[in-house]
């Protein structure tokens, strides 16, 4: 059978492979971007589910409205407003089936073949992959540990002008590098971009997983022209199995997303939306998030300490202030894909960094998730990786 | 903000409007394709859910594998094999988030701008809409009450040859007309199409809602070359709120869908898949379907009887042998969209037929759903529509 031309660009099986690593119980996988299942509040979910069936009966099992369950949209808007001094209403929120769907819909909404998507270097491979499917070319903007460099941004948007329709950025604890833009860089970014007719897709999937206090206003709170589309998710702060996430943006733009949603999956799961709404009604999500953060902070500290102890000195890594990942740099000229093949033989997995570059990937980096493995496995896996590295870097 | 060119084709707000009609409690809506919530087995679902949390714990709340929950895929394969003498394995099944997602993924997988999709006349508007988003042109094949006409099919595929990559068909109780292809027409269709390199997307969303015994082998059971991609759903036979559906096809093709799934929504809801799997384990879906059929048969009979009594004689309609719809024809030259505007004022809704044509729509038809409204509302709504029609057709 003849497939579409875009399938040639979809052959990067990296995400698929991550999922497979996760399924092998013997693997110590630092590969996924998964939260830790032990944090999922089983009892509270049971109670919320029973309350949903009690309160809504069969209605909870029907199709949802296209934009999603109204009370949940209201709660998401309120939460944003309380945290970030935005003034969102429930009409400025649409529910999506995971935030990956928000990325897919954004690709469908904005990108024609040959359009440019401006992004950080490196960036989230799941976003790069779906934007490629819509024919995007990528304009990588030089990025340092404080975020996108404003002078470089200015230069790029001036040079490529009208060809850029979308900027995709992850200011909070970015996937894969875990860097967090400074408040100043956020303001600088908006003050450059506001002069151009470019939509800004702000991916906030990791925003709530912060280990330190920092001033980091989301771009949507600095938006003067209604340019910013902010997407967030319950996957990392609650449970990914419900597939409930959201987009916040001006009503006019929400209406465009609503034109797509029926053609993509009709609506998101009605019962799952109500379940999360009921949980938010009955329990404190913020308290739950605090507990998650404590656990992940411990694992981050343990992972860093163990890497310091067992990784060769020429291997460099950052100290993430939030999120689920550490970003590791091998000496120049060394290839993380080759390292992965050696590691897999010892049942340790991670994601080579090259996949996170839209083009001309640097091959000497890799991403390590520390949230999903037990303390014991973190130590065991990093020790094993240290031994492999010592030989590999000789 | 500048949107993609495809958005110009997505401005048909018909599906969106259907959902809105459904949300207005005062509306007697014959518009949706919704099952009747009173059929949803609330108690069994509660029990299954509790059993899922008991058996799987937090695992049920994590991401699902890309292809979906293995035991559920096995049960879907077995069910197909028992009913249709296919020999599917669990590896030949992938779970999708509703069967609308199966259509979206198929569009992404096959269609490049300018490719032709061969379809029935008329056809499901949700499929036409998403295929349009991928740049499809449509090749409508003349279709009568027995299905696609084989001579017309032969002529079309010969004439347009390589431009056709996908044929989209709904042989069982088609949406919108509710026609069901005869066994002979199914065989004829396959014996024409097997000589061409065309993928066949067989939409079986309504297959289980049959009021009469009929010999209607699915195309996938007649497939010699691995051309057929069959999609089915729990939405109409169980509950739509879980968003769990499936695609069955050869493993080689399933692997192509698996390349797309992570970029589209990462995975379908893990807990919802397990919930349905547990329900299938503990209860009889077929017994449940029998109960649904009895209810819908009664509603079909009541709707037909009431239409016969109150609709003017010049209004024609078929007697559906399955599915959820009746297809109504007004005299030539009359416009069902105009009729709808009058009906909405009296709080009665349906879907004008023009939306189901990919081009040159006939405007004198409309689709009426009879599964979703109570007996009382069916009578009240059809009576009101009869009064409006009497004036409208004068």
Q: ipTM of this model?
A: 0.95
When pLDDT is cut at 50, 70 and 90, the band that residue B9 belongs to is confident
Position B20 pLDDT exceeds 90 = no
Residue A357 sits at the chain B interface (C-beta within 8 Å): no
Residue B53 sits at the chain A interface (C-beta within 8 Å): yes
Which range is least confidently modeled, A354-363, B68-77, B270-279, B385-394?
Answer: A354-363
The residues in A 236-295 lying below 8 A from B, measured between CB atoms, are 239-243, 253, 256, 258-260, 262-272
Cα-based angle A355, A360, A363 (whole degrees, multiple of 5): 55
Which residues of chain A make contact with B277, given a CB cutoff of 8 A?
none
Report DSSP state, residue B241: G
Residue A45 sits at the chain B interface (C-beta within 8 Å): yes
Phi, psi of A220 (to 5 degrees): -60, -25
Mean pLDDT over the full length of chain B: 94
CA distance B86 to B83: 8
The nearest alpha carbon in chain B to A199 belongs to B1
A208 burial via Cβ count (<10 Å: 0-12, 13-18, 19+): buried
Position A13 pLDDT exceeds 80 = no
CA distance A96 to B253: 27
B271 with A241: Cβ contact below 8 A: yes
Longest dimension (CA), chain B: 64
Position A23 pLDDT exceeds 80 = no
Q: Which of A7, A16, A263, A355 to mutate to test the interface with B (most CBs of B within 10 A)?
A: A263
Residue A337 sits at the chain B interface (C-beta within 8 Å): no
* Residue/partner pairs of A8-13 with CB below 8 Å, 24 or more apart: A9/A129, A9/A132, A9/A133, A10/A129, A10/A132, A10/A133, A10/B259, A10/B260, A10/B263, A11/B259, A12/A125, A12/A129, A12/A355, A13/B259
Which residues of chain A make contact with B66, given a CB cutoff of 8 A?
16, 19
Position A297 pLDDT exceeds 70 = yes
- Number of residues that make up chain A: 394
The nearest alpha carbon in chain B to A36 belongs to B62
CA distance A40 to A52: 18
Q: How many contacts (CB atoms, under 8 Å) link A and B?
A: 243
* Residue/partner pairs of A138-145 with CB below 8 Å, 24 or more apart: A138/A358, A138/A359, A139/A164, A140/A357, A140/A358, A140/A359, A143/A179, A145/A179, A145/A318
- Number of residues that make up chain B: 394
Task: Measure CA B359 to chain center.
Answer: 20
B323: left (phi over 0), alpha (psi -120 to 50) or beta: left
Phi, psi of A75 (to 5 degrees): -65, -35
Position A93 pLDDT exceeds 80 = yes
Which residues of chain A make contact with B13, given a CB cutoff of 8 A?
259
Is the pLDDT higher at B1 or at A18?
A: B1
pLDDT tens column, A231-278: 999 999 999 999 999 999 999 999 999 999 999 999 999 999 999 999
CA distance A21 to A31: 7
Report DSSP state, residue A142: P
Residue A160 sits at the chain B interface (C-beta within 8 Å): no
DSSP letters for B339-352: HHHHHHHTTEE-EE
- Scan for tokens 């023009």, then name that residue: B354
CB within 8 A of B198, min separation 6: which ones? A1, B118, B157, B164, B165, B166, B167, B227
B259 with A45: Cβ contact below 8 A: no
* Residue/partner pairs of B82-88 with CB below 8 Å, 24 or more apart: B84/B217, B84/B218, B84/B220, B84/B221, B85/B217, B85/B221, B86/B218, B86/B220, B86/B221, B86/B248, B88/B248
Partner-chain residue, chosen from A98, A111, A243, that has the shortest CB–CB distance to B4: A111
Q: Are A105 and A260 in contact (CB under 8 A)?
A: yes
Q: What is the pLDDT of residue B359?
A: 81
When pLDDT is cut at 50, 70 and 90, the band that residue B358 belongs to is confident
Q: What is the pLDDT of residue A12?
A: 64
Tokens of A152: 């470089």
Which range is least confidently modeled, A355-369, B171-185, B213-227?
Answer: A355-369
A134 with B4: Cβ contact below 8 A: yes
B265 with A98: Cβ contact below 8 A: yes
B241 with A61: Cβ contact below 8 A: yes
Does domain B5-41+287-392 correspond to CATH entry 3.90.1150.10? yes
pLDDT tens column, A204-230: 999 999 999 899 999 999 999 999 999
Cis preceding-peptide flag for B194 (omega within 30 of 0)? no
Strand stretches in chain A, DSSP E: 28-29, 93-96, 116-120, 137-141, 143-144, 147-148, 164-169, 199-203, 228-233, 245-248, 316-317, 325-329, 348-349, 351-352, 365-369
Please give the average per-residue pLDDT across B191-198, as a whole number. Answer: 96
B269 with A57: Cβ contact below 8 A: no
Position B21 pLDDT exceeds 80 = no
The closest alpha carbon to B344, from B2, B12, B61, B31, belongs to B31
What pTM, to 2 d.p., does this model score? 0.96
CA distance B57 to B50: 10
Which residues of chain A make contact with B126, given a CB cutoff of 8 A?
262-263, 266
pLDDT tens column, B98-151: 999 999 999 999 999 999 999 999 999 999 999 999 999 999 999 999 999 999
CB within 8 A of A294, min separation 6: which ones? none
- What torsion, rounded to 10 degrees, do the Cα atoms B89, B90, B95, B101 define? -20
Q: Which of B253, B262, B275 to mutate to test the interface with A (most CBs of A within 10 A)?
A: B262
The residues in A 116-135 lying below 8 A from B, measured between CB atoms, are 126, 129-130, 133-134
* Pairing of β A164-169 and β A199-203: parallel
A2 with B197: Cβ contact below 8 A: yes
For chain B, the first-to-last Cα distance in angstroms comes to 48
The closest alpha carbon to A205, from A168, A186, A180, A233, belongs to A233
Tokens of A13: 């099986």
CA distance B139 to B137: 7
* Pairing of β B116-120 and β B137-141: parallel
Tokens of A2: 């003849």
Position A317 pLDDT exceeds 80 = yes
Report DSSP state, residue B96: E
Query: Matching CATH topology for B5-41+287-392 and B59-282?
Result: no
The residues in A 59-98 lying below 8 A from B, measured between CB atoms, are 59-66, 97-98
Q: What is the pLDDT of residue A14?
A: 66
Report DSSP state, residue B316: E
Q: Break chain B into its structural domains and give their ranges.
A: 5-41+287-392, 59-282
Partner-chain residue, chosen from A13, A37, A270, that has the shortest CB–CB distance to B59: A37
Q: Are B351 and B14 in contact (CB under 8 A)?
A: yes
Which range is least confidently modeled, A164-178, A280-294, B345-359?
Answer: B345-359
When pLDDT is cut at 50, 70 and 90, the band that residue A19 belongs to is low
B267 with A243: Cβ contact below 8 A: yes
Position B344 pLDDT exceeds 80 = yes
B5 with A112: Cβ contact below 8 A: yes
Tokens of A226: 């209604």
Q: Are A265 and A97 in contact (CB under 8 A)?
A: yes
* Residue/partner pairs of B232-236 with CB below 8 Å, 24 or more apart: B232/B76, B232/B99, B232/B204, B232/B205, B232/B207, B233/B98, B233/B99, B233/B205, B234/B276, B235/A63, B235/B35, B235/B98, B235/B99, B235/B205, B236/B33, B236/B35, B236/B205, B236/B206, B236/B208, B236/B209, B236/B324
* Pairing of β B164-169 and β A28-29: unpaired
Which residues of chain B make contact with A260, given a CB cutoff of 8 A?
10, 133
The closest alpha carbon to B202, from B116, B102, B79, belongs to B102
Q: Are A3 and B105 in contact (CB under 8 A)?
A: no
Position A308 pLDDT exceeds 90 = yes
CA dist A60 → A271, B42, B47, B241 (Å)? 5, 10, 16, 7
B136-162: b or e for each residue (b if 16 or more CB lie within 10 Å)?
bbbbbbebeeebbbbebbbebbeeeee
* Pairing of β B325-329 and β A93-96: unpaired
Is the pLDDT higher at B360 or at B62?
A: B62
Longest dimension (CA), chain A: 65
Tokens of B221: 């059971």
Closest Cα of chain B to A35: distance in Å?
8
Tokens of A322: 């939030």
Tokens of B146: 């027995």
Domain range A42-282, CATH architecture: 3-Layer(aba) Sandwich (3.40)
Partner-chain residue, chosen from B32, B130, B258, that has the shortest CB–CB distance to A263: B130
Closest Cα of chain A to B4: distance in Å?
4
Q: Which of B236, B269, B275, B278 to mutate to test the interface with A (most CBs of A within 10 A)?
A: B269
Which residues of chain B make contact with A24, given a CB cutoff of 8 A?
none
When pLDDT is cut at 50, 70 and 90, the band that residue B12 belongs to is low
B262 with A100: Cβ contact below 8 A: yes
B96 burial via Cβ count (<10 Å: 0-12, 13-18, 19+): buried
When pLDDT is cut at 50, 70 and 90, the band that residue B10 belongs to is confident
Three-state DSSP state, A263 = helix
Position B361 pLDDT exceeds 90 = no
Partner-chain residue, chosen from B61, B133, B259, that has the shortest CB–CB distance to A40: B61
Tokens of A261: 């949603």
The closest alpha carbon to A216, from A246, A155, A254, A174, belongs to A174
Partner-chain residue, chosen from A13, A58, A256, that has the shortest CB–CB distance to B7: A256
Which residues of chain B make contact with A19, given a CB cutoff of 8 A?
63, 65-66, 262, 267
Which residues of chain A make contact with B20, given a CB cutoff of 8 A?
65
CB within 8 A of A10, min separation 6: which ones? A129, A132, A133, B259, B260, B263
CATH number of B59-282: 3.40.640.10
pLDDT tens column, A371-382: 988 999 999 999
Which residues of chain B make contact with A235, given a CB cutoff of 8 A?
63
Please give the average per-residue pLDDT across B54-71, as a whole number. Answer: 95
Three-state DSSP state, B147 = strand
Phi, psi of B28 (to 5 degrees): -90, 100
Position B14 pLDDT exceeds 70 = no
Residue ranges of alpha helices (H) inside chain B are 14-23, 42-56, 70-84, 99-110, 125-133, 150-160, 183-193, 251-265, 270-282, 285-310, 336-345, 375-392
């Amino acid at each position: 059978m003849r497939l579409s031309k875009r399938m040639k660009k979809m052959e990067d099986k990296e995400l698929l492979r991550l999922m497979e690593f996760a399924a092998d119980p013997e693997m110590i996988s630092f590969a996924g971007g998964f939260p830790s299942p032990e944090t999922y509040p089983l009892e509270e979910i049971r109670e919320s589910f029973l309350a949903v069936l009690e309160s809504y009966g069969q209605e909870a099992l029907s199709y949802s409205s296209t934009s999603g369950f109204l009370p949940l949209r209201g709660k998401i808007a309120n939460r944003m407003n309380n945290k970030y001094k935005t003034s969102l209403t429930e009409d400025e929120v649409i529910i999506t089936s995971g935030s990956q769907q928000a990325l897919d819909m954004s690709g469908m909404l904005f990108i024609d073949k040959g359009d440019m998507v401006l992004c950080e270097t490196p960036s989230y491979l799941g976003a790069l992959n779906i934007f490629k499917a819509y024919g995007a070319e990528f304009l990588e903007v030089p990025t340092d540990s404080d975020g996108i460099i404003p002078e470089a941004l200015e230069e790029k948007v001036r040079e490529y002008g009208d060809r850029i329709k979308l900027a995709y950025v992850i200011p909070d604890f970015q996937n894969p590098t875990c860097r967090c833009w400074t408040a100043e860089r956020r303001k600088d970014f908006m003050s450059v971009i506001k002069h151009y007719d470019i939509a800004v897709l702000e991916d906030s999937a990791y925003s709530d997983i912060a280990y330190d206090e920092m001033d980091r206003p989301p771009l949507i709170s600095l938006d003067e022209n209604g340019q910013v589309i902010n997407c967030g998710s319950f996957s990392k702060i609650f449970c990914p199995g419900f597939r409930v996430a959201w987009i916040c943006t001006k009503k006019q733009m929400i209406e465009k997303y609503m034109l797509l949603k029926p053609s993509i999956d009709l609506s998101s799961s009605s019962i799952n939306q109500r379940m999360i709404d009921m949980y938010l009604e009955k329990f404190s999500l913020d308290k739950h998030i605090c507990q998650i953060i404590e656990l992940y902070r411990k694992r981050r500290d343990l992972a860093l300490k163990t890497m310091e102890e067992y990784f060769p000195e020429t291997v460099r890594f950052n100290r993430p202030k939030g999120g689920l990942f550490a970003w590791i740099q091998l000496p120049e000229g060394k290839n993380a894909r080759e390292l992965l093949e050696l590691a897999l033989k010892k049942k340790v997995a991670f994601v080579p960094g090259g996949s996170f570059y839209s083009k001309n990937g640097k091959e000497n980096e890799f991403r390590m998730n520390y949230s999903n493995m037990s303390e014991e496995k973190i130590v065991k896996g990093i020790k094993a990786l240290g031994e492999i590295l010592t030989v590999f870097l000789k």
